[in-house]
Every structure is written in C-alpha cells, then in structure tokens.
Amino acid sequence: SDTTDAGDDAELRTPIVAVLGHVDHGKTSLLDEIRGSAVTAGEAGAITQHIGATAVPLSTISEIAGSLVDPTDFDLPGLLFIDTPGHHSFSTLRSRGGALADIAILVVDVNDGFQPQTHEAIDILKRTQTPFIVAANKIDTVPGWNPNPDTPVQETLEKQSDRAESRLNEQLYEIIGQLSDEGFSADMYWRVQNFRENIGVVPVSAETGEGIPDLLTVLMGLSQRYLKAEMSIDVDGPGVGTVLEVKDERGFGTTLDTVLYDGTIRADDTIVVGGKNEPIVTDVRALLQPRPLSEIRTEKQFEQVDAVRAAAGVKIAAPDLDDAMAGAPVRVVRDRNLEEVVAEVRAELADIEVVTEEQG
Ligand code: GDP
C-alpha cells in the first residue's frame, strides 16, 4: 500500500517463512501444495513467484482459509515462503546475526515421528530463537482415512471413522510427547492460546491439501500477534538482504539471488556485498525478477525491474561479484556513508564465519 504521509515511512513487511524437517517428511510437497492452493484460490496474480521465494498475499490466504480467517483481523500483507527447504539453507541464511526466516514450519511425518534431522532442526530453531509451528504431515496415510481435499482439519476429522481418528490422535500425541522431550510444551493448535509459550501442532496432508487452510491461518495469526513489531520497517530506506545463491546467468555474468528483508533496492544503487576475503563494493547493473507465468513463452526468463521492496526475492546483476558468497549480507549504500556500510558488512561476515566454524 502507498503512503503519502512523507513524515512516516514505516510500513509492515511480509514475514519470511522457512520450512524445515527430516528428509522425505514432505517439505517440498508442502511448499508445492501451498503454491498450488494459492494458484487455485485466486485469479491470476494470486501468488508472485520471486527469485528463491514465493509470496502469498493476505487476500489469497483468506480465500484458501475460508471461514478460518477474517482478513480485517490482519494488517501484515501476507507471507513470503523461502523455496529451498531444509535446515542447511536455514542456517546459512542469516540476517544481523539471527535467522533470515522470521518464522518456521517444522514438518514431521506422522508415521515416522521425530528423526535425526528433526532434532537437528529443533536445535537450530532453539539457537536462533525462531518461532515455529509443527506441520504433522501425511495424515492421509492413516489406515482407513477418508480424504476431503483442501478442507480444514476439524471439518475432515468429523468425516473420519472413530478408528481412523483415534489412530491419528495417537500419532499426534506421540509427536507432542517428542516435542515435550525437547523442552517444548505443545498441543493441537486449536487448543493453543499463547503461541510464544506453546508450540501449535497442525495436522496436514501435502497430498490432499487437508489442513493447509489451518496451517496458513496459524502462520498468519502467529506473525500478526507476535512478529508485527519486527515487521515494521522503512520500506523506502536503503535495502538490506541475504544472498541465497551466487549464479552465472547468460547475458548477465555473475548474479546474486537475494532475499531482501529491509528497505528498497533500486537499479541505480551502489551495494556492499560480503565476499570471500572482504566486502565487495559495486554498482547494480540490473535487478531481475522471474517473468510472470503468462509471459513465460518469450525466451527471456527474467524481467528487469527498477526497484524491489522488502520482503522479496530478487536477482542482482552487477560487476565484480565472483567472490560473493551464499549466506553473505547485501547492503544498499544510497545516502549512507560508504565506509560505515562496509564496516557493517565486514562485521556481519565475521559473524557468519564464526557460525560456519561452529557447525564445521
Ligand atoms: P522432503 O524430502 O521433506 O522435501 O519430502 P518430499 O516432499 O520430497 O516428500 C517425500 C515423499 O513423501 C514423496 O514421495 C511425496 O510424494 C510423499 N508425501 C509428501 N507429503 C505427503 C502426504 O501428505 N501424503 C502422502 N501420502 N505422501 C506425501
């Protein structure tokens, strides 16, 4: 939304959501299902494919969630999902010493319960103090399950046999117990009053879409309730982001796939980027975003844009990026003092190196 109030540039940005969990528990399927239901829910433009991320606006979430969400309860603009799931990307992607993601979904297969990478993910979430919810996935695999595609959990539960329902409940309480062993008090999300003190468990199926309305509702509610203050940013200020990936792109040379979490980056900005040895100072040559699906038949994959506002994924083309690193900070200089910005990036780089050593 545009503000004409020149004195006050603070606006709310989209919270950044990451998906973690053990291999094969359904992280990729869950992201696909969220994207799929967002496409079905709305007209064209319901979701925006960013570089490395997918933006789902509040209006689309409210359509998917139906009666679960009253859009007037929210003023955050929606959710931005990082497309690469897994805790490797989660721990590489940091911002100002914390996690780049503001909130996380921990995916746990209801048949499999906690597995080694589930514990690892929990450790990382604890260390970075990232609020999270648990998606108890694959509820459709419970013996005797009667699938009701894309419905809220309570609605599909009413249509299950007693046997299927109690079987699912056993599996869910197993997961709640495992969370408790990790020191978290957890419960079915509809019984959770305070999501800061209790972890909400949301039964879902990435296969049938059951529980997806609930998952989006809980993410939105948790963000609105507990993250709103952190989401208030000067969207027109100098941009700050984290490099997801350094990539060679035909016609553009080395580019940075970046998630911007503060401010704006413009096509004529000077930026400072974390490099292997020292911060790189360079001028943006082009800002690129994926071409909308409707235009994808043209041979150009990207379109050039003049400016990008947080939170968003963007590909930055610029000279001298060969030494840039995934996980490194990107900062726009604009009207700030160059040396100050370089010093900030250097300090952030030192912080990243410490983390890499801890993990290595
Ligand atoms: P990831 O490794 O965590 O990203 O897991 P994937 O998303 O690749 O899923 C692993 C396997 O589980 C794939 O064969 C999926 O089709 C399957 N799968 C994921 N979610 C569900 C679900 O909710 N129900 C069922 N029946 N299968 C699922």
Is the distance from CB of 176 to CB of 201 less than 8 angstroms? yes
- At 63-90, the pLDDT tens digits run 899 888 888 889 999 999 999 888 877 8
Whether the CB of 210 sits within 6 Å of ligand 1 = no
Atom of ligand 1 minimally distant from the CA of 107: 3
> 27-41 and 212-226 are packed helices; what angle lies between their axes, rounded to 10 degrees?
90
Whether the CB of 89 sits within 6 Å of ligand 1 = no
Which pLDDT belongs to residue 352? 75
Whether the CB of 205 sits within 6 Å of ligand 1 = yes
User: For atom 17 of ligand 1, which residue has the closest CA?
Assistant: 26
Pairing of strands 53-57, 78-82: antiparallel
Atom of ligand 1 minimally distant from the CA of 206: 23
DSSP conformation class of 13: P
Structure tokens at 47: 């979701």
Is the distance from CB of 78 to CB of 72 less than 8 angstroms? no
Pairing of strands 307-309, 264-266: antiparallel
| pTM score over 0.95 | no
Task: Assess: ipTM above 0.90.
Answer: yes
Ligand 1 geometric centre to CA of 73 (Å): 33
Is the distance from CB of 46 to CB of 38 less than 8 angstroms? yes
B/e letters for 171-193, b = 16+ CB within 10 Å, e = fewer, are bbebbbebbeebebebbbbeebe
Spatial distance between the Cα atoms of 206 and 216, rounded to a whole number of angstroms = 13
Whether the CB of 24 sits within 6 Å of ligand 1 = yes
Whether the CB of 141 sits within 6 Å of ligand 1 = yes
For the chain (length 360 residues), average pLDDT per consecutive 10?
48 96 97 87 72 92 89 91 87 80 97 96 93 97 97 97 98 98 97 92 98 96 93 94 94 96 97 96 97 65 94 97 95 97 94 59
> 27-41 and 58-65 are packed helices; what angle lies between their axes, rounded to 10 degrees?
90
- Strands of the sheet containing 280-283, edge to edge, are 280-283, 270-273, 329-332, 240-249, 253-262, 312-317, 286-290, 302-305
Which pLDDT belongs to residue 97? 67
